[in-house]
């Protein structure tokens, strides 16, 4: 039983066609309907329809016919059907409702609909066969000029491999261990855990973090100097409200972190970046009162901040009343040696240390922490507000248990091995198949930078899109006011693809890379060693 929907303004009525399409439901031959048939139609207007209100009917399940044009009703039906066919909404072969039923639903004369169907059959838009009703003709394909609407932009191309530097391997999330901690945390949670949350964060988590960060990252703190946040971005948003004036940032960095600072009315001043990280010797000239850096693994270019510069940034902070905001987003993942401790350990009163589980566990949980100089704790809490409205207390308790029981360390050790293997496969594949490409930033983290010859980044990104790769070039990370020489390259996040798809992702990547320059017969790979800059 076919069904037609009829919508009248302000209401929607469902009118089932109780009679199956009769064998003779194809419209009478066109010749039997001369122009002007409508005039002879028994009833042209449905009783009860408001004058001027559009007539609407839906064909099948979701095709809507709306007669709002000008001209006779027959012309309007024909226009509406042609439009639906042209746009692809009515696909070739689609069966139209019997003309009697459509006429009834639209509240118009049967002859009017039959005449419109018959004329469209003549024009070739519809086909009518005894016994199978009226259908959209097979050859009535949508017009090229009006293709069916598709989503615009790069998303139209299927993304086969995600090499963006944003996520860890989601398949490696330690579900079982997290669940065990969640159960334990839930069972042990005192009643007050189910009330309004403390904006400082749960004491259980702050206590556990103080111990863990001291042990694993060399952070010097106490639980009352820690404020829980929903990740680095949230921490920066809060800090932006307590800072003022100018903030020095790395010439290459995340634009949305810069945007967060700008939104708060701050100005960002770019510091050049080289193989030893940010050129902190330029800090005094910036007149900035704060500096946002990624010392463990410069994002995205990849070098750790040189030891001399770690000391120099603290000297600057002491002599200029400055503050370092240390973004320790992937500090646990160091492959050539033990992770370098946080700069915060050098002077806890001059550094705000911000960490999160976005790289180590998952960016979906939205959990992070700020370790603050004592004088900033109240100001940051005032910026956060009187209640915890960001981070779930149960997730906080779960994380506290997860760290305290050793599951976090175990997970990190496992992931360090996992990402190190990935990194080695990436480097090995490029050495073999694209030895003319230099690879940087490989000693730590979940991403590397493939350095490209000048003028080739855009073409490589286009080639990557054609290969179904989602990846970034260095261009968008560059501060618009930076005066340092422009670097071209691809930022390759090797953490995200699932294991089974990793080698296919690398195959696609190799196909997207520029060819070696003419005459470059280099046999040996040039894999960039980590810096010894000062
Ligand atoms: C440079 C940098 N900082 C911080 C983070 C973490 O941000 P969030 O904790 O807001 O997810 C990321 C991404 O994980 C990052 O790439």
SS3 per residue for 491-525: EEECCCCCHHHHHHHHHHHHHHCCCCCCCCCCCCC
Q: Is the CB of 299 under 6 A from ligand 1?
A: yes
**Which of 347, 372, 407 is a domain's end point?**
407
Written as six digits, the tokens of 2 are 């076919």
Nearest to 269, CA basis, from 285, 246, 303, 292: 246
Q: Are residues 397 and 451 in the same domain?
A: no
**Which of 136, 159, 186 is a domain's end point?**
136
CA distance 401 to 420: 27
The per-residue DSSP string of 239-283 comes to: HHHH--SEEEEESBS-HHHHHHHHHTT-EEEEEPEETTEE-GGGH
What pLDDT was estimated at residue 64?
Answer: 63
CA distance 397 to 208: 10
> Which residues partner with 66 through β-bridges?
56
Nearest to 300, CA basis, from 139, 426, 489: 489
Is 497 contained in some domain?
A: yes
User: What does the pLDDT profile of the chain (534 residues) look like in tens digits?
Assistant: 333 333 333 333 333 333 334 334 556 544 333 333 333 333 333 334 444 555 655 554 445 677 766 678 888 888 888 888 887 878 888 888 888 878 877 788 889 989 998 889 888 889 888 777 888 888 766 655 444 454 444 444 578 899 999 889 999 999 999 999 999 999 999 999 999 999 999 999 999 999 999 999 999 999 999 999 999 999 999 999 999 999 999 999 999 999 999 999 999 999 999 999 999 999 999 999 999 999 999 999 999 999 999 999 999 999 999 999 999 999 999 998 777 899 999 999 999 999 999 999 999 999 999 999 999 999 999 999 999 999 999 999 999 999 999 999 999 999 999 999 999 999 999 999 999 999 999 999 999 999 999 999 999 999 999 999 999 999 999 999 999 999 999 999 999 998 889 999 999 999 999 988 776 655 444 434 334 333
Q: Are residues 84 and 127 in the same domain?
A: yes
SS3 439: strand
Q: Are residues 66 and 43 in the same domain?
A: yes
Ligand 1, pocket-test mutation among 165, 169, 233, 293, most atoms within 8 A of CB = 233
User: Which numbered atom of ligand 1 lies nearest the CA of 233?
Assistant: 10
CA-closest residue to ligand 1 atom 4: 329
pTM of the model: 0.71
Q: Are residues 289 and 368 in the same domain?
A: yes
What pLDDT was estimated at residue 128?
Answer: 87
Q: Residue 217 belongs to a domain with what CATH number? A: 3.40.640.10
Q: Residue 455 belongs to a domain with what CATH number? A: 3.90.1150.10
Is 472 contained in some domain?
A: yes
Given a contact cutoff of 8 angstroms between Cβ atoms, the answer to whether 355 and 368 are in contact is yes
- Domain extent, residue 253, equals 173-407
Is 160 contained in some domain?
A: no
Q: Are residues 235 and 267 in the same domain?
A: yes
What pLDDT was estimated at residue 27?
Answer: 60
DSSP secondary-structure letter at 304?
Answer: P
Q: Are residues 103 and 201 in the same domain?
A: no
Q: Are residues 355 and 491 in the same domain?
A: no
Q: Are residues 307 and 436 in the same domain?
A: no
Give me the number of domains the chain comprises. Answer: 3
What pLDDT was estimated at residue 525?
Answer: 41
Q: Residue 102 belongs to a domain with what CATH number? A: 1.10.10.10
Strands 323-327 and 351-356 come out as parallel
Q: Are residues 203 and 275 in the same domain?
A: yes
Q: How far is the CA of 67 from the centre of ligand 1 (A)?
A: 53
CA distance 418 to 413: 9
Given a contact cutoff of 8 angstroms between Cβ atoms, the answer to whether 445 and 360 are in contact is no
What pLDDT was estimated at residue 372?
Answer: 98
Given a contact cutoff of 8 angstroms between Cβ atoms, the answer to whether 317 and 465 are in contact is no
Is 350 contained in some domain?
A: yes
What pLDDT was estimated at residue 55?
Answer: 65
The per-residue DSSP string of 185-203 comes to: HHHH--GGGGSSPPTT--H
Q: Are residues 436 and 383 in the same domain?
A: no
What pLDDT was estimated at residue 144?
Answer: 56
SS3 183: helix
Q: Is the CB of 358 under 6 A from ligand 1?
A: yes
Is 466 contained in some domain?
A: yes
Q: Is the CB of 333 under 6 A from ligand 1?
A: no
Q: Are residues 242 and 359 in the same domain?
A: yes
DSSP secondary-structure letter at 113?
Answer: H
Is 149 contained in some domain?
A: no
Count CB neighbours of 174 within 10 A: 18
Q: Burial of 97 by CB count in 10 Å (0-12 exposed, 13-18 middle, 19+ buried)?
A: buried
Q: Are residues 452 and 362 in the same domain?
A: no
Is 416 contained in some domain?
A: yes
Is 521 contained in some domain?
A: no
Could you give the C-alpha distances from 382 to 227, 323, 353, 379, in angstroms and in order? 11, 19, 18, 5
């Amino acid at each position: 039983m076919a069904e037609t929907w009829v919508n009248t303004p302000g209401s929607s009525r469902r009118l089932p066609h109780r009679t199956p399409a009769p064998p003779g439901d194809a419209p009478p031959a066109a010749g039997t309907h001369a122009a002007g048939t409508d005039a002879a139609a028994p009833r042209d207007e449905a009783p009860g329809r408001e004058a001027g209100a559009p007539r609407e009917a839906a064909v099948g399940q979701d095709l809507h016919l709306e007669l709002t044009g000008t001209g006779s009703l027959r012309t309007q039906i024909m226009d509406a059907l042609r439009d639906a066919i042209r746009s692809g909404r009515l696909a070739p072969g689609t069966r139209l409702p019997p003309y009697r039923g459509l006429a009834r639903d639209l509240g118009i004369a049967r002859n009017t609909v039959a005449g419109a169907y018959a004329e469209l059959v003549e024009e070739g838009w519809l086909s009518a066969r005894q016994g199978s009703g009226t259908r959209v003709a097979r050859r009535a394909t949508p017009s090229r000029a009006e293709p069916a609407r598709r989503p615009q932009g790069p998303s139209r191309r299927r993304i086969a491999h995600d090499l963006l530097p944003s996520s860890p391997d989601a398949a490696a999330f330690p579900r079982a261990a997290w669940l065990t901690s969640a159960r334990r945390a839930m069972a042990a949670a005192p009643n007050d855990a189910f009330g309004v949350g403390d904006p400082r964060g749960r004491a259980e988590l702050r206590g556990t973090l103080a111990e863990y960060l001291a042990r694993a990252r060399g952070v010097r703190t106490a639980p009352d100097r820690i404020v829980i946040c929903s990740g680095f971005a949230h921490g920066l948003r809060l800090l932006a409200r307590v800072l003022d004036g100018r903030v020095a940032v790395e010439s290459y960095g995340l634009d949305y972190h810069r945007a967060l600072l700008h939104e708060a009315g701050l100005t960002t001043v770019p510091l050049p970046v080289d193989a030893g990280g940010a050129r902190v010797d330029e800090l005094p000239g910036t007149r900035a009162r704060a500096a946002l850096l990624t010392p463990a693994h410069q994002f995205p270019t990849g070098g750790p901040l040189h030891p001399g510069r770690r000391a120099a940034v603290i000297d600057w902070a002491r002599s200029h009343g400055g503050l370092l905001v240390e973004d320790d987003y992937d500090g646990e993942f160091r492959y050539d040696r033990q992770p370098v401790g946080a700069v915060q350990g050098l002077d806890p009163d001059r550094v705000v240390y911000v960490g999160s589980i976005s790289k180590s566990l998952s960016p979906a949980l939205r959990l992070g922490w700020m370790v603050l100089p004592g004088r900033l704790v109240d100001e940051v809490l005032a910026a956060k507000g009187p209640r915890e409205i960001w981070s779930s207390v149960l997730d906080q308790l779960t994380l506290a248990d997860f760290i305290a029981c050793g599951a976090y360390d175990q997970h990190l050790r496992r992931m360090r091995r996992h990402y190190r293997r990935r990194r080695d496969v990436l480097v090995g594949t490029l050495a073999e198949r694209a030895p003319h490409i230099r690879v940087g930033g490989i000693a730590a983290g979940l991403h590397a930078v493939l350095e490209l010859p000048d003028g080739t980044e855009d073409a490589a990104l286009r080639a990557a899109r054609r290969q179904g790769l989602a990846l970034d070039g260095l261009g968008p990370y560059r501060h618009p006011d930076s005066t340092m020489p422009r670097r071209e390259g691809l930022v390759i996040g090797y953490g995200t693809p699932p294991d089974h798809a990793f080698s296919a992702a690398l195959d696609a990547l190799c196909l997207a890379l520029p060819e070696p320059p003419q005459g470059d017969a280099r046999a040996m790979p040039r894999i960039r060693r980590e810096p010894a800059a000062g």
